[in-house]
Structure 1
Amino acid sequence: MNGVDWAELWSQVFNFADYGELLALLHNSIIAGAVLGVVGGLIGVFVMSRDMAFAVHGISELSFAGASAGLLFGVGVVEGSIVGSIAAALIIGFLGAKSRDRNSIIAVLMPFGLGLGILCLALYPGRSANKFGLLTGQIVAVDDPRLNSLIAISIVVVVGLLIVWRPLTFASVDADVASARGVPVRALSIVFMVLLGLAVAVSVQVVGSLLVLSILVTPAAAALRVSSSPIVVPLLSMLFAVLSLVGGILLALGGSVPISPYVTTISFVIYVVCRVVAASRARRGVSDRRVSARRPVALDA
């Protein structure tokens, strides 16, 4: 039985020969990664506050189905991905007002979307790399037209979030009180789902449908571990997402495996570090309170 050739395995994961020449070819991909990092980090804050991490995965499966159908019928991967994402977002938004209903709807949509996408890919006669890229991501397919559409959609998402930021934050914290104050909670929920669908659609183009959570959920979850500030958390979330995507793209350039393992690993490491920092702060806080409790109270003369 032959053993594992660790040198060959390492060269497949990290191989920086001719790295400089290859780097010049990924100018569009690096820009796309930075833009998606900003979008994912920003909308991820609301995904966490509204407890919709599961919804992201459900939308990504329908986005995958739409992209696969677009690839099969020649409509376009981007167009198909957007249609699938928005369709899923609207279904979840209209039918899943309550958390229990939303989770059951997502659980129904996920296998349907994945099965439909696999069917379309099985019927697609083109290269297998295109099929595999929809699931695990690819960095070489970001040409100028795709980059322009990605940036345009990302601008729509960011501007939309900024417009509804304050009422959406209020509705995310306490929907009942927000509704009593006249905030259109239902309409905001639909608007947010559409923006989330667009964010998922553009993210799937780079990181793939199976691992989109690493951009739209993990950075925000990490940021919330180290801060509760309404200003610091979005900034940290965007920073973590940009580092994960751009760092993953730069590492993937030196290997022969898809981009997704690099992005998810960087994102996971950031999350683990943030958890360690939060735990260290908590222990330090407990220790300080114990010391303060043991100090004698000075009596007034």
Structure 2
Amino acid sequence: MEFSDVFDFSDYDRLIPLVTNSLWAGVLLALVGGLVGVFVMNRELSFAVHGISELSFAGAAIFLLFGFDVVFGSVIGSMIAALILSLLGDKSKDRNSIVAVLMPFGLGIGILALALYPGRAANKFGLLTGQIVAVDDPKLASLTVISAVVLTLLVIMWRPLLFATLDAEVAAARGVNTKALGIVFVLVLGLAVAAAVQVVGALLVLALLVTPAAAALRLSKSQLWVPVLSVSFALVAMLGGILLALGGGLPISPYVTTISFLIYLIARLIAFVKSKGVKEKAVVRA
């Protein structure tokens, strides 16, 4: 197999305008995913992201089956999952068990709805793997509204949420309502997942909401640089994935996940080299 069989950039100048909306959606999702991902990692909610995405997929698939707005269905599914997790999963152990129950249920209901859907196969599997040209003007408008709500809530709650995340007991002692913040954040996470599912698909949403932040935390502990790096990594993965998918003619998700994974590997390598250098200096000083 030759390179040209996998990638064909001969008509790239004419194809770029076809994904303008996807590129803008990628920017929005990278901004949302990068910022939300910082709290997802620090609050140990990585597994919850996957559980919410399964119900988001189920909601989108059911709405697709009955001819309703897919984005709205995705939001409904995410909000149901977020409410269940926030109200019943106070402890990490309880939350993990609830997610383990939600995941197969959501996936099963979603697959059933897709099996009954009589439309094009691309619409079916796009909910699982993402679609590069599926972001039309109405969907971009919906994603913009969802992203604006998520970012506004994050700006309002950033400092108390960060305080509650890093030291919940001290935050509670100083009057921060950590329980209410936790519930609101899980709902914000649900909105972020619902937005991401529309582009990267339900199965691979972790590549946007977890991997960039995980890579950023390997490189820094700064409260400023971690979100900056996380958003930057998410932007590279999203925009790079879209542009590569355009030339490759394949779903966007394999490219986004591969770029995210490579960024994470590089971040781990840099962190390893830095830690090794610090240890060597300590040995020399000793």
1:223, 1:217 → 2: CA distance? 10
Equivalent in the alignment of 2:202: 209
- C-alpha displacement of 1:133: 0.3
Pairing partner for 2:121 from 108, 122, 128: 128
Equivalent in the alignment of 1:247: 240
Residues 263, 69 of structure 1: alpha-carbon distance in 2 compared, 3 angstrom cutoff: same
Equivalent in the alignment of 1:296: none
- Is residue 153 of structure 1 aligned with residue 146 of structure 2? yes
- C-alpha displacement of 1:256: 2.1
Pairing partner for 2:213 from 197, 215, 220: 220
* Structure 1: 4+ residue segments shifted above 2 A: 10-13
- C-alpha displacement of 1:122: 0.4
Equivalent in the alignment of 1:103: 96
1:43, 1:145 → 2: CA distance? 24
2:5, 2:105 → 1: CA distance? 34
CA contact (8 A) 1:56 1:200 kept: yes
Equivalent in the alignment of 1:119: 112
Equivalent in the alignment of 1:14: 7
CA contact (8 A) 1:11 1:255 kept: no
1:178, 1:157 → 2: CA distance? 23
1:232, 1:55 → 2: CA distance? 25
CA RMSD of superposed structures (Å): 0.9
CA contact (8 A) 1:136 1:209 kept: yes
- C-alpha displacement of 1:63: 0.3
- Is residue 265 of structure 1 aligned with residue 258 of structure 2? yes
- C-alpha displacement of 1:12: 4.8
- Is residue 34 of structure 1 aligned with residue 27 of structure 2? yes
TM-score by length of structure 1 reads 0.93
1:209, 1:221 → 2: CA distance? 19
Provide the aligned length of Structure 1 versus Structure 2: 286
Amino acid of the residue matched to residue 232 of structure 2?
A: L
Return 167-176 or 42-51, whichever deviates more: 167-176
Equivalent in the alignment of 2:168: 175
Percent identical pairs in the alignment equals 64
Pairing partner for 1:188 from 178, 181, 186: 181
Specify the structure having the higher radius of gyration (Cα). Answer: 1
Matched residue SS, 1:211: coil
- C-alpha displacement of 1:174: 2.1
Pairing partner for 2:228 from 222, 225, 235: 235
2:236, 2:61 → 1: CA distance? 29
CA contact (8 A) 1:96 1:102 kept: yes
Equivalent in the alignment of 1:24: 17
Equivalent in the alignment of 1:288: 281
Return 210-219 or 68-77, whichever deviates more: 68-77
Matched residue SS, 1:140: coil
TM-score by length of structure 2 reads 0.98
2:278, 2:179 → 1: CA distance? 40
Equivalent in the alignment of 1:57: 50
- C-alpha displacement of 1:176: 2.3
